[in-house]
Structure 1
Amino acid sequence: MTQPKTWQMPDTLVLIFFVAVAAALLTYIVPTGSFQTQDVNYLVDGVEKSRSVIDPTSFSYDLDDNGDPKLAPVGLFEGNGGAGFFNFAFEGLVSGSKWGSAIGVIMFMLVIGGSFGVVMATGTIDNGILKLIDRTRGNESLFIPVIFVLFSLGGAVFGMGEEAIAFAIIICPLMIRLGYDGITTVMVTYVATQIGFASSWMNPFSVAIAQGIAGIPVLSGSGVRVVLWFGFTLIGLIFTMRYANKVKHQPTHSFSYHSDAYFRENQSKASLDSRFNLGDILVIATIVATIIWVIWGVVSQAWFIPEIASQFFTMGIVIGIISVIFKLNGMKVNDVAVSFKQGAANMLEPCLLVGCASGILILLGNGGPSEPSVLNSILNSAGNLIGQLPNALSAWFMLVFQTVFNFFVTSGSGQAALTMPLMAPLADIVGVTRQVAVLAFQLGDGFSNVLVPTSASLMATLGVCRVDWGDWLRFIWRFMLALFVVSSLVVVGAHYMGFN
């Protein structure tokens, strides 16, 4: 008797490919346009900063010889370094700089993947997890709320996002050993940071920049936003705890049960009487010291991807030395090198997804506001549409627009620079306060990072937890719908209360 065929969610790379097809088709329909830019100054913590932003009144279509708006359809292939459709994967993989976008995030993942490959080869994490479970039986549920709140606070205070990738590598084996799954790990790390990011009262990479560009006092309205942070964090924590408890009682209810097999198989060799000696204590101490070092660097020195990667690389070297001295798992110098290469190799799949997702944006024109692109035309059209709506509906459509536009520009500061020069004066025209326009920006930008496959940080976190984006979509859509409904009520309510 033949088994009935069941529908299977396409692989993440397949989904990205079809999104790229849709993006390429848009270039045959939407003409290209551009803005002029101008510099604006604003204060953050008493320090004057400047940023180049678009002039919202300066949009113009790129015209052909007949004076008509010109299309720039993407060809199947482009030579001389161009970006045709079949170039999108390579162009995406090499796009950006060491400070971010694809190439920076990819190299960051390879370095931390290699470093944590050394950590995992020592056996300290597996053995430590077993000892922790043995010592805390009955209190495992405390881990989730503590970790969730800490990561949400990190997103709110210093814009934590990419850093969640490294922490997910450590936390995922722990969560699965405790009876949860990879999706729970993504929720308590990356999703928690984005909840904090979206509802922050002081995030220097989103709300501070957006308020500065909008011409309102930087970090104003903090009281309201602190309440929002608490409320949204509580919503996220309740959703996570309900799902985690469901998985713990019935593991097959997990949306990532099949992909979690990788962690279950690798951990099945350990036992509760596992080794844990001075060498293991030094490995754990090195990891903790690195985490403290990273947090200090991000908060006080504004360190970002290059510096954080170097910090974790240093951690890998130190732990490699400890493993050789104390012969952890019988490791020798060559074993350290092999484990680093294997750890980096495990990052290959998420690296490919990050690069291909970035390639989608290149197809739509990734050259910035002053260069003709489909992205600029979409931005201008959305602004014109919102300007014709009643004020309360305009406030809500600002949220909708920022949510959708984040698919194309996932950088919080980048989206603020592109959209707030348009949304701030538009808010004045339609009778919405600029503070509400900033609120719509940060909620739309932050929460949609939890879903969009063009977010390098999301795809990387899913990758290290071995969660397919298709499975993630099946799981997260209900939570995203709840966040959007609550965000809509918050934005419209803020408008009627005159939030200013």
Structure 2
Amino acid sequence: MKKKIRIPDTYVIIFFVVVFAAILTYLIPVGSFTMEKIQYATETGMKTRTVPVPGSFKYALNDLGQPLVQGVPIFAAGGDMSVTNYIFEGLVSGDKWGTAVGIIAFILITGGAFGIILKTKAVEAGILNMIKKTKGSEALLIPLVFLLFSLGGAVFGMGEEAIPFAMILIPIVVGMGYDSITGIFMCYISTQIGFATSWMNPFSVAIAQGVAGVPVLSGAMFRIVMWVFFTAFGIVYTMKYAKKIKANPELSISYETDKFFRDDFKADEAEDLEFKFGHKLVFLTIFLGMSWIVWGVVFHGYYLPEIAAQFTIMGVISGIIGVVFKLNNMNVNDIAISFRKGAEDLIGAAMVVGMAKGIVLVLGGVDAGTPTVLNTVLNSVAGILSHLHASISAIAMYFFQSVFNFFVVSGSGQAALTMPIMAPLSDLVGVPRQVAVLAFQLGDGFTNMFVPTSGILMAILGIAKIEWGVWAKQQIKFQGVLFVLGSIFMIIGVLTNFQ
């Protein structure tokens, strides 16, 4: 009998990546760029960013005047970075606006808020009611939801907002006879396809174009065509996959972990859960809350702190409704208990965010003005690309941005770090700057679906109770297809001199 290969736990994978990163610090000298402030125009006015100056890279030197190799220590005192405190340093890094502290707080708060909502049993009652009313037409839900979420990714950079939707959608699609993978495609893969092919995303394409010296939000028609193509491809792929799983659920890689959702659904069916007025009020709260979030993000630039507060309000109101209408026999203490339980369910995903940030810190961080290994790698790649043909350079840029996203998953951060180097380089090799921006977009957005350093992905996998290694096994083929299709658009951009 053939022995089944056991896929390593996500924590194990990240640990070995940290070890590999630590080894690199003993082999690759550190370097930095001269930094400068630039201004670029946006729809809301002029923005300022500090970016590296092209061609300004220089190695840090040791006492002998040689390039400095700065190996990260195994242990360090005084709060300095070391291999053995990568988890702690990763968890406490950043601020409330992003990785890691902000994302971790956001994950735990939204997990808690939806823990309250799930306690009311409104989601389960709604699922049963919807399945009864849509018998035979459930498949229509897949293209509709995928399209809406892809549009959200394209228009306002929807990402973190997909986390609470996953808590609702995954149980729904499993209850309909599909699997949690289908749910993840509908509410997360869709957003990243929109994110990667956006013509107006303020958090990626607008910043990348501004930093690259390209008119902000230019080249929209090319990108809209690309968005339509990839969204249609994603819908067809998801529907074909979902049809296969519905015909034979045991083909799903998440069949075992989906047992949790199936058992819960069967219990609710046996209970013949009625969709009461109180449940409808909870759904109305969710709808109004989500509408408020979209309005705030699109028109007022709401981000993690504001959205976390909005989810807290949604959770508390849902809890009060649950107590008043005795949904699932809720009392006041159940609001606190279910909030705690919801946060507990996502603590593993929150830990991964800190661990993933630890990888970057071991390599010295992402400040282009501070001597780090990542800066040396960025400069070396730029040197290699300068000797390639235009079309090959374009694809190589796309590949590099895809790999670099493992270390810098922040779209705006990656744009500020790489675009000042890649944009002038594209001039040298005959690649339009607009195509260099495209390489960043596609490389950043598509690999967000795959890299274990993405806090949003890990949170959604945590909701679905799927290990990253299992997910990677399913994703690798899909990522390969996306890369080939993305490369074709890159070549078209070069050949048509996309401006």
Normalising TM by the smaller chain, what interval?
A: over 0.9
User: In the alignment, what sits opposite 2:87?
Assistant: 89
For 1:186 and 1:452, how far apart are their aligned partners in 2?
15
User: In the alignment, what sits opposite 2:433?
Assistant: 434
> C-alpha deviations, 1:112-168, integer Å up to 9, x for none?
111111111111111110011011100000111111111110010011111111111
For 2:383 and 2:250, how far apart are their aligned partners in 1?
49
> C-alpha deviations, 1:254-306, integer Å up to 9, x for none?
11111112222222211273222221111110011111011001101100111
Deviates more, 1:395-404 or 1:268-277: 268-277
User: In the alignment, what sits opposite 1:115?
Assistant: 113
Structure-to-structure mapping, 1:207-286, within 5 angstroms: 207-271=205-269, 273-286=272-285
Residues 16 and 486 of structure 1, relative CA distance in 2, 3 Å threshold: same
Q: Quick check: 1:102–1:355 contact (8 Å CA) kept in 2?
A: yes
For 2:419 and 2:437, how far apart are their aligned partners in 1?
8
Q: 2:204 aligns with which of 206, 228, 244?
A: 206
Q: Quick check: 2:360–2:366 contact (8 Å CA) kept in 1?
A: no
What is the CA-CA distance between 1:468 and the residue it aligns to? 1.1
Q: Which amino acid aligns with 1:210?
A: A
For 1:358 and 1:265, how far apart are their aligned partners in 2?
36
What is the CA-CA distance between 1:203 and the residue it aligns to? 0.8
For 1:358 and 1:189, how far apart are their aligned partners in 2?
24
> C-alpha deviations, 1:308-346, integer Å up to 9, x for none?
110000111111111111111111111111111111111
Deviates more, 1:271-280 or 1:243-252: 271-280
What is the CA-CA distance between 1:96 and the residue it aligns to? 1.3
User: In the alignment, what sits opposite 1:392?
Assistant: 391
For 2:235 and 2:55, how far apart are their aligned partners in 1?
43
For 1:353 and 1:175, how far apart are their aligned partners in 2?
26
Q: Which amino acid aligns with 2:353?
A: V
Deviates more, 1:432-441 or 1:476-485: 432-441
For 2:234 and 2:366, how far apart are their aligned partners in 1?
36
User: In the alignment, what sits opposite 2:447?
Assistant: 448
User: In the alignment, what sits opposite 2:417?
Assistant: 418
Q: Quick check: 2:170–2:179 contact (8 Å CA) kept in 1?
A: yes
Residues 208 and 367 of structure 1, relative CA distance in 2, 3 Å threshold: closer
Q: Does 1:18 align with 2:49?
A: no
> C-alpha deviations, 1:361-399, integer Å up to 9, x for none?
111111511111111111111111111112222112111
For 1:102 and 1:142, how far apart are their aligned partners in 2?
37
Q: Quick check: 1:183–1:467 contact (8 Å CA) kept in 2?
A: no
What is the CA-CA distance between 1:421 and the residue it aligns to? 0.6
User: In the alignment, what sits opposite 1:369?
Assistant: 368
Q: Which amino acid aligns with 2:141?
A: F
What is the CA-CA distance between 1:187 and the residue it aligns to? 0.9
Q: Quick check: 1:76–1:84 contact (8 Å CA) kept in 2?
A: yes
Q: Quick check: 1:171–1:185 contact (8 Å CA) kept in 2?
A: yes
| TM-score, normalised by the number of residues in structure 2 | 0.98
Q: 1:173 aligns with which of 168, 171, 174?
A: 171
> C-alpha deviations, 1:220-250, integer Å up to 9, x for none?
1111110000001111111111111111111
Q: Which amino acid aligns with 2:105?
A: M
SS in 1 for 2:387: coil
For 1:221 and 1:161, how far apart are their aligned partners in 2?
23
Residues 244 and 313 of structure 1, relative CA distance in 2, 3 Å threshold: same
User: In the alignment, what sits opposite 1:323?
Assistant: 322
What is the CA-CA distance between 1:51 and the residue it aligns to? 1.2
What is the CA-CA distance between 1:4 and the residue it aligns to? 5.8
What is the CA-CA distance between 1:61 and the residue it aligns to? 0.7
Q: Quick check: 1:108–1:305 contact (8 Å CA) kept in 2?
A: yes
Q: Quick check: 2:110–2:312 contact (8 Å CA) kept in 1?
A: yes
User: In the alignment, what sits opposite 1:303?
Assistant: 302
Q: Which amino acid aligns with 2:328?
A: N
Q: Does 1:154 align with 2:164?
A: no
For 2:454 and 2:67, how far apart are their aligned partners in 1?
31
Identity across the alignment (%):
51
For 2:222 and 2:494, how far apart are their aligned partners in 1?
13
Q: Does 1:499 align with 2:498?
A: yes
User: What residue ranges of structure 2 are gaps of 5+ in the alignment?
Assistant: none
For 1:460 and 1:79, how far apart are their aligned partners in 2?
32
> C-alpha deviations, 1:75-113, integer Å up to 9, x for none?
211111122111111111121111110211111111111
For 2:116 and 2:135, how far apart are their aligned partners in 1?
29
Q: 1:138 aligns with which of 114, 117, 136?
A: 136
SS in 2 for 1:43: strand
SS in 2 for 1:268: helix
Deviates more, 1:265-274 or 1:486-495: 265-274
SS in 2 for 1:76: coil
For 1:12 and 1:151, how far apart are their aligned partners in 2?
27
User: What residue ranges of structure 1 are gaps of 5+ in the alignment?
Assistant: none
For 1:277 and 1:488, how far apart are their aligned partners in 2?
51
User: In the alignment, what sits opposite 1:468?
Assistant: 467
Q: Which amino acid aligns with 1:345?
A: E
Structure-to-structure mapping, 1:64-103, within 5 angstroms: 64-103=62-101
For 2:138 and 2:86, how far apart are their aligned partners in 1?
45
Q: Quick check: 1:402–1:440 contact (8 Å CA) kept in 2?
A: yes
Q: Which amino acid aligns with 1:58?
A: S
Deviates more, 1:134-143 or 1:75-84: 75-84
SS in 2 for 1:220: coil
Q: Which amino acid aligns with 1:439?
A: L
Q: Which amino acid aligns with 1:254?
A: S
What is the CA-CA distance between 1:46 and the residue it aligns to? 5.7
For 1:266 and 1:93, how far apart are their aligned partners in 2?
33
Q: Quick check: 1:396–1:491 contact (8 Å CA) kept in 2?
A: yes
CA RMSD of aligned residues (A): 1.2
For 1:381 and 1:54, how far apart are their aligned partners in 2?
15
